[in-house]
Amino acid sequence: MSSEPRLVEVRRKVLKENDVRARALREAFRQAGVCVVSLVSAPGAGKTTLLEKLLAQLQPDHRVAALVGDLATENDAARLARSGALVKQITTGTVCHLDAAMVEQALVGWDLDQLDFLFLENVGNLVCPSSYDLGEELRMVLVSTTEGEDKPLKYPTIFNTADVAVITKRDLSQAVEFDAELMRGNIQRVRPGMRIVEVSAKTGQGMNELLEALKSRLSGFHVSQTA
């Protein structure tokens, strides 16, 4: 009998458990016909402000809700709740990202059938959220004009896992000498072909384009449901 360790080949994703939960969530969201959009960005890029506007502007015609993640405080949920939408805060303690289990838990008691859009505002962080599938249909990465045009090159992974890039705070472009072409080019380098929308939640610039993109995603979603 040998005391040598025995090598066993396995093939197991480290985040298997999260992936399994996320797949189940995605299936439940599709069954219920709710289009789930997550928002990721660095702290201060304007996720909550953008979401305030999106919730307010989608509400006349759509049933919307949001889950919002932060390490501490319920401030963001309180801000978003003013829109009249259904909002719940997820406080992660010291955890730097949302995961599928947190989303699952936060949704207990919610009737997904009553929703058209559900937004998941991740913890402000451009690194860790990239590893965790939340079951979302669309992942939006936000980058503001004040952060520097090379942000996508510094954090390629989060851009690579996202579906749409939203350049925020476009109203500050002049003050910070923002170079839109440079930023767009850098986004295309790390995520070739990615859709980019430039907005200012403050002035409303670009908001219609973003809203239309979301609405067309929802209607495409419903078509594929019935097909």
Partner 1 sequence: MHELSIALNIVDGVLEEAEQRGGVRVAVVHLRLGPLSGVVEQALLFAYPMACEGTPLEGSRLLIQPSEVALYCPTCQEELKPATLVDLRCPACRGLDSRVVRGAELEITGIEIVPSEVQV
| Smallest gap from residue 127 Cβ to partner 1 (A) | 6
| Smallest gap from residue 123 Cβ to partner 1 (A) | 10
Cα-based angle 159, 163, 167 (whole degrees, multiple of 5): 65
Query: Residue 77 and residue 80: Cα distance in Å, rounded?
Result: 5
Q: Contacting partner 1 (CB under 8 A), which of 28, 56, 81, 95?
A: 95
CB closer to partner 1 out of 190 and 210: 190
Q: Build a one-symbol-per-residue string for 57-76: x at contacts with partner 1 by CB under 8 A, - elsewhere.
A: --------------------
User: Any contact of residue 164 with partner 1 (CB under 8 A)?
Assistant: no
| Smallest gap from residue 2 Cβ to partner 1 (A) | 7
User: Any contact of residue 191 with partner 1 (CB under 8 A)?
Assistant: yes
Interaxial angle between packed helices 47-58 and 207-226, expressed in degrees from 0 to 180 and rounded to the nearest 10: 60
Please, which residues have CB within 8 angstroms of residue 66's CB and are 6 or more apart in sequence? Answer: 51, 55, 80, 85, 86, 87, 88, 118, 119, 120, 121
64 touches 218 (CB < 8 A): no
Which residues form the interface with partner 1 (CB under 8 A)?
A: 1-3, 5-18, 95-97, 127-128, 130-131, 152-153, 156-158, 160-161, 188-193
